[in-house]
Structure 1
Protein backbone atom coordinates (compact mmCIF):
# COMPACT_ATOMS: atom_id res chain seq x y z
CA UNK A 1 0.00 0.00 0.00
CA UNK A 2 2.81 2.42 0.81
CA UNK A 3 4.01 2.15 -2.80
CA UNK A 4 0.58 3.23 -4.10
CA UNK A 5 -0.33 6.18 -1.86
CA UNK A 6 0.06 9.56 -3.56
CA UNK A 7 0.80 8.03 -6.98
CA UNK A 8 -1.39 7.87 -10.10
CA UNK A 9 -2.80 4.59 -8.72
CA UNK A 10 -4.25 6.49 -5.72
CA UNK A 11 -7.39 8.14 -7.11
CA UNK A 12 -9.31 10.57 -4.88
CA UNK A 13 -12.75 12.12 -5.20
CA UNK A 14 -15.10 13.98 -2.87
CA UNK A 15 -16.78 10.76 -1.73
CA UNK A 16 -14.04 8.14 -2.12
CA UNK A 17 -10.41 7.11 -2.39
CA UNK A 18 -9.38 4.19 -4.56
CA UNK A 19 -5.99 2.58 -4.02
CA UNK A 20 -5.55 0.52 -7.17
CA UNK A 21 -3.30 -2.39 -6.28
CA UNK A 22 -3.58 -4.44 -9.49
CA UNK A 23 -4.37 -2.93 -12.89
CA UNK A 24 -4.61 -4.08 -16.51
CA UNK A 25 -0.87 -3.57 -16.98
CA UNK A 26 -0.27 -6.32 -14.42
CA UNK A 27 -1.76 -8.81 -16.89
CA UNK A 28 -3.95 -10.86 -14.53
CA UNK A 29 -7.27 -10.10 -16.25
CA UNK A 30 -8.88 -8.18 -13.39
CA UNK A 31 -8.07 -5.15 -11.26
CA UNK A 32 -8.03 -5.06 -7.45
CA UNK A 33 -8.77 -1.91 -5.48
CA UNK A 34 -8.79 -0.96 -1.80
CA UNK A 35 -11.56 1.65 -1.76
CA UNK A 36 -12.59 4.04 1.00
CA UNK A 37 -16.13 5.50 0.79
CA UNK A 38 -16.60 8.49 3.06
CA UNK A 39 -19.35 8.46 5.69
CA UNK A 40 -22.43 10.44 4.70
CA UNK A 41 -21.81 10.21 0.97
CA UNK A 42 -23.89 8.76 -1.84
CA UNK A 43 -22.51 7.84 -5.26
CA UNK A 44 -24.50 7.02 -8.38
CA UNK A 45 -22.57 4.32 -10.25
CA UNK A 46 -23.29 2.27 -13.35
CA UNK A 47 -20.54 0.00 -14.67
CA UNK A 48 -21.91 -0.75 -18.15
CA UNK A 49 -18.66 -2.24 -19.42
CA UNK A 50 -17.34 -3.97 -16.30
CA UNK A 51 -18.44 -6.53 -13.72
CA UNK A 52 -17.70 -5.38 -10.19
CA UNK A 53 -17.42 -7.55 -7.05
CA UNK A 54 -17.15 -5.84 -3.65
CA UNK A 55 -16.20 -7.13 -0.20
CA UNK A 56 -16.94 -4.71 2.66
CA UNK A 57 -14.67 -5.04 5.67
CA UNK A 58 -15.19 -1.74 7.51
CA UNK A 59 -18.09 0.67 8.07
CA UNK A 60 -21.79 0.34 7.32
CA UNK A 61 -23.91 1.43 4.40
CA UNK A 62 -26.19 0.20 1.67
CA UNK A 63 -26.37 -0.37 -2.05
CA UNK A 64 -29.59 0.35 -3.95
CA UNK A 65 -30.28 -1.36 -7.27
CA UNK A 66 -31.84 1.41 -9.35
CA UNK A 67 -33.46 -1.08 -11.75
CA UNK A 68 -35.42 -2.92 -9.06
CA UNK A 69 -35.50 -0.46 -6.14
CA UNK A 70 -34.05 -3.16 -3.86
CA UNK A 71 -31.82 -1.85 -1.04
CA UNK A 72 -29.23 -4.12 0.52
CA UNK A 73 -27.54 -3.33 3.85
CA UNK A 74 -23.74 -3.48 3.88
CA UNK A 75 -21.34 -4.03 6.75
CA UNK A 76 -18.18 -5.94 7.58
CA UNK A 77 -18.37 -9.33 5.86
CA UNK A 78 -20.86 -8.22 3.15
CA UNK A 79 -20.22 -9.15 -0.47
CA UNK A 80 -22.14 -7.62 -3.34
CA UNK A 81 -21.69 -8.26 -7.04
CA UNK A 82 -22.94 -6.14 -9.92
CA UNK A 83 -22.86 -8.85 -12.55
CA UNK A 84 -25.73 -7.53 -14.66
CA UNK A 85 -24.30 -4.01 -15.00
CA UNK A 86 -26.98 -2.57 -12.74
CA UNK A 87 -27.09 1.19 -12.13
CA UNK A 88 -26.87 1.64 -8.37
CA UNK A 89 -26.46 4.03 -5.48
CA UNK A 90 -23.75 3.34 -2.92
CA UNK A 91 -24.21 5.00 0.46
CA UNK A 92 -21.82 5.07 3.42
CA UNK A 93 -24.03 5.53 6.47
CA UNK A 94 -22.01 4.73 9.60
CA UNK A 95 -18.28 5.34 9.50
CA UNK A 96 -16.18 5.32 6.38
CA UNK A 97 -16.73 2.10 4.43
CA UNK A 98 -13.65 0.25 3.28
CA UNK A 99 -14.19 -2.14 0.39
CA UNK A 100 -12.03 -4.51 -1.64
CA UNK A 101 -13.26 -4.11 -5.24
CA UNK A 102 -12.50 -6.40 -8.17
CA UNK A 103 -13.24 -5.26 -11.73
CA UNK A 104 -13.33 -7.40 -14.87
CA UNK A 105 -12.12 -6.56 -17.35
CA UNK A 106 -9.28 -4.89 -15.51
CA UNK A 107 -9.16 -1.12 -15.18
CA UNK A 108 -6.12 0.68 -16.52
CA UNK A 109 -6.15 3.23 -13.71
CA UNK A 110 -6.88 6.17 -16.01
CA UNK A 111 -10.68 5.79 -16.03
CA UNK A 112 -12.89 8.65 -14.84
CA UNK A 113 -16.59 8.28 -14.00
CA UNK A 114 -18.79 9.92 -16.61
CA UNK A 115 -22.10 11.72 -15.93
CA UNK A 116 -24.05 8.49 -15.29
CA UNK A 117 -21.38 6.96 -13.05
CA UNK A 118 -19.85 4.57 -15.58
CA UNK A 119 -16.46 4.05 -17.16
CA UNK A 120 -16.00 3.90 -20.92
CA UNK A 121 -15.11 0.78 -22.86
CA UNK A 122 -11.95 -0.88 -21.55
CA UNK A 123 -8.71 0.23 -23.13
CA UNK A 124 -6.17 -2.26 -24.41
CA UNK A 125 -3.72 -2.91 -21.55
CA UNK A 126 -0.25 -1.44 -21.74
CA UNK A 127 2.63 -3.77 -21.09
Structure 2
Protein backbone atom coordinates (compact mmCIF):
# COMPACT_ATOMS: atom_id res chain seq x y z
CA UNK A 1 0.00 0.00 0.00
CA UNK A 2 1.19 3.51 -0.82
CA UNK A 3 0.09 6.46 1.31
CA UNK A 4 1.21 10.02 0.56
CA UNK A 5 0.03 13.53 1.38
CA UNK A 6 0.37 16.57 -0.89
CA UNK A 7 2.10 18.55 1.88
CA UNK A 8 4.92 15.98 1.79
CA UNK A 9 5.41 16.44 -1.99
CA UNK A 10 5.53 20.26 -2.08
CA UNK A 11 9.09 21.55 -2.29
CA UNK A 12 10.62 18.18 -3.25
CA UNK A 13 11.90 16.95 -6.61
CA UNK A 14 8.34 15.67 -7.23
CA UNK A 15 7.11 19.29 -7.24
CA UNK A 16 7.86 20.54 -10.78
CA UNK A 17 7.14 24.27 -11.12
CA UNK A 18 7.27 26.06 -14.50
CA UNK A 19 6.13 29.45 -15.75
CA UNK A 20 2.74 28.06 -16.84
CA UNK A 21 2.06 25.19 -14.45
CA UNK A 22 3.06 23.49 -11.21
CA UNK A 23 2.79 19.69 -11.16
CA UNK A 24 2.98 17.88 -7.83
CA UNK A 25 3.60 14.24 -8.74
CA UNK A 26 1.98 11.90 -6.23
CA UNK A 27 2.54 8.59 -8.03
CA UNK A 28 5.31 7.91 -10.53
CA UNK A 29 6.71 5.11 -12.66
CA UNK A 30 8.94 3.95 -9.78
CA UNK A 31 5.78 3.14 -7.77
CA UNK A 32 4.98 0.33 -10.26
CA UNK A 33 1.22 0.89 -10.44
CA UNK A 34 1.02 1.40 -14.23
CA UNK A 35 0.11 5.10 -14.22
CA UNK A 36 1.19 8.36 -12.64
CA UNK A 37 -1.00 10.74 -10.64
CA UNK A 38 -0.38 14.49 -10.55
CA UNK A 39 -2.01 17.35 -8.64
CA UNK A 40 -1.41 20.24 -11.05
CA UNK A 41 -2.00 23.98 -10.93
CA UNK A 42 -2.46 25.65 -14.32
CA UNK A 43 -1.54 29.27 -13.71
CA UNK A 44 -3.99 32.10 -14.47
CA UNK A 45 -3.40 33.98 -17.71
CA UNK A 46 -1.28 31.26 -19.30
CA UNK A 47 -1.55 29.30 -22.54
CA UNK A 48 0.37 26.04 -22.95
CA UNK A 49 0.72 24.08 -26.19
CA UNK A 50 0.58 20.38 -25.37
CA UNK A 51 0.77 17.17 -27.41
CA UNK A 52 1.00 13.99 -25.36
CA UNK A 53 1.96 11.79 -28.29
CA UNK A 54 3.47 9.17 -25.94
CA UNK A 55 0.79 9.25 -23.21
CA UNK A 56 -2.93 9.11 -22.59
CA UNK A 57 -3.92 11.76 -20.05
CA UNK A 58 -7.14 12.00 -18.04
CA UNK A 59 -7.79 15.35 -16.34
CA UNK A 60 -10.33 16.26 -13.67
CA UNK A 61 -10.70 19.93 -12.73
CA UNK A 62 -11.41 20.50 -9.04
CA UNK A 63 -10.90 24.31 -8.90
CA UNK A 64 -10.80 27.27 -11.25
CA UNK A 65 -11.75 28.06 -14.84
CA UNK A 66 -10.15 27.95 -18.24
CA UNK A 67 -10.45 26.22 -21.59
CA UNK A 68 -8.93 23.58 -23.81
CA UNK A 69 -8.72 24.10 -27.57
CA UNK A 70 -8.09 21.18 -29.91
CA UNK A 71 -5.60 22.51 -32.46
CA UNK A 72 -6.64 20.39 -35.46
CA UNK A 73 -10.41 20.99 -35.16
CA UNK A 74 -10.42 24.38 -33.38
CA UNK A 75 -13.01 22.95 -30.95
CA UNK A 76 -12.96 24.81 -27.62
CA UNK A 77 -14.25 23.35 -24.36
CA UNK A 78 -14.79 25.37 -21.21
CA UNK A 79 -13.10 23.95 -18.13
CA UNK A 80 -14.57 24.42 -14.65
CA UNK A 81 -14.68 22.50 -11.39
CA UNK A 82 -16.34 19.12 -11.93
CA UNK A 83 -15.33 18.83 -15.62
CA UNK A 84 -13.23 15.90 -16.86
CA UNK A 85 -11.56 15.28 -20.20
CA UNK A 86 -9.38 12.51 -21.62
CA UNK A 87 -6.84 12.97 -24.40
CA UNK A 88 -7.29 9.41 -25.65
CA UNK A 89 -6.50 10.36 -29.28
CA UNK A 90 -3.20 12.10 -28.46
CA UNK A 91 -4.80 15.39 -29.47
CA UNK A 92 -2.62 18.46 -29.89
CA UNK A 93 -4.19 21.18 -27.76
CA UNK A 94 -3.87 24.56 -26.13
CA UNK A 95 -4.62 24.72 -22.42
CA UNK A 96 -5.55 28.14 -21.09
CA UNK A 97 -6.01 29.17 -17.49
CA UNK A 98 -8.49 32.00 -16.99
CA UNK A 99 -7.98 31.67 -13.24
CA UNK A 100 -5.62 29.31 -11.46
CA UNK A 101 -7.00 25.84 -12.18
CA UNK A 102 -6.31 22.85 -9.97
CA UNK A 103 -6.35 19.66 -12.00
CA UNK A 104 -5.96 16.02 -11.01
CA UNK A 105 -4.12 14.30 -13.89
CA UNK A 106 -3.50 10.62 -14.61
CA UNK A 107 -0.89 9.56 -17.19
CA UNK A 108 -0.46 6.21 -18.90
CA UNK A 109 2.29 5.17 -19.28
CA UNK A 110 3.45 6.49 -15.94
CA UNK A 111 5.74 9.51 -15.85
CA UNK A 112 9.15 9.19 -14.21
CA UNK A 113 8.84 12.53 -12.41
CA UNK A 114 11.18 15.06 -14.01
CA UNK A 115 9.28 15.57 -17.27
CA UNK A 116 8.60 18.99 -18.74
CA UNK A 117 7.14 19.65 -22.19
CA UNK A 118 9.54 19.37 -25.12
CA UNK A 119 9.40 21.68 -28.17
CA UNK A 120 6.34 19.76 -29.46
CA UNK A 121 4.53 19.95 -26.12
CA UNK A 122 5.15 16.27 -25.28
CA UNK A 123 6.53 14.41 -22.30
CA UNK A 124 9.17 12.05 -23.65
CA UNK A 125 9.28 8.75 -21.75
CA UNK A 126 12.68 7.63 -20.46
CA UNK A 127 12.77 4.59 -22.75
CA UNK A 128 12.19 6.80 -25.83
CA UNK A 129 14.91 9.25 -24.67
CA UNK A 130 17.36 6.37 -24.14
CA UNK A 131 16.58 4.91 -27.58
CA UNK A 132 17.14 8.33 -29.18
CA UNK A 133 13.75 8.31 -30.91
TM-score above 0.5, yes or no: yes
Specify which of 34, 39, 43 is matched with residue 39 of structure 2.
34
Corresponding position: 1:104 with 2:125:
no
CA displacement at 1:112 relative to structure 2: 2.3
Tell me the equivalent position of 2:73. Answer: 68
**Poorly superposed stretches of 4+, deviation over 4 Å:** none
User: Match for residue 117 of structure 1?
Assistant: 121
Residue in structure 1 matching 2:89, options 74, 78, 84: 84
Normalising by structure 1, report the TM-score. 0.93
Aligned-pair CA distance for 1:122: 4.5
How many residue pairs end up in the alignment?
123
Uncovered stretches (5+) of structure 1, i.e. residues with no partner: none
**Aligned-residue offset at 1:110:** 2.0
Structure 1 or 2: more helix by fraction: 2
TM-score relative to the length of structure 2: 0.89
- Structure 1 distance, partners of 2:25, 2:61, is 16
What value does the CA root-mean-square deviation take over the aligned residues? 1.2
Report if the CA contact (8 A) 1:57-1:76 is conserved. Answer: yes
Q: 1:111, CA displacement in angstroms? A: 1.7
CA distance in 2, matches of 1:114, 1:65: 18
Q: Do the aligned partners of 1:108 and 1:123 also contact (CA within 8 Å) in 2?
A: no
Q: Could you list the runs of 5+ residues in structure 2 that have no partner in the other structure? A: 1-5, 129-133
